[in-house]
Amino acid sequence: MQIERLADPDADADIDAIVALESASFTNPWSRETLVWELRNSDVTRAYVLRDADGRVAAFCVCWVIFDELHINTLAVDPAARRRGMASALLRHVLADAAAAGATKATLEVRASNAAALGLYERLGFRVAGTRPRYYARPEEDALLLWRDGLSATAADASP
């Protein structure tokens, strides 16, 4: 596994791979246009990819680092590669990188029914802080708002 921050918003193969994973993972995926706009126009947006042994994008995370907060916007792992620790490795890397940039806390929303994601986030120190009623569409569902404090300690446990 290799994790890297996507630096080129015009890296078509990587953008296409992210969009494909997003579409395979979510009922309301980000469009290619939204992703490219974020990467080209936002100074807070970061995208990370995890490559498998063959160099293919097997997982990705798009987030914002705003002042002292990391906002995880979207994260997905190739359905054929799930339950192999890729999301944990990727998130540990993202958390450590955000901590190095000055973030001290992290937040995200997750579907209330997504038990696998909730387990992952709880193992990484996130806690439920609230609910956003009917946040998701297709199907309509509440989001759980998760927070994690203390990112400065993340660097020590960031290795995949």
109 is catalytic: yes
Beta bridge partners of 107: 71, 147
Residue of 38, 121, 136, 141 marked active site: 121
**Structure tokens given for 148:** 């994690």
From 22, 38, 109, 136, active-site residue:
109
Packing angle between helix 32-41 and helix 12-25, nearest 10 degrees? Answer: 130
Q: Clarify whether 38 is annotated catalytic.
A: no
How many residues appear in the chain? 160
* Residues 47, 60 contacting (CB under 8 angstroms): yes
Q: Which residues are catalytic?
A: 109, 121
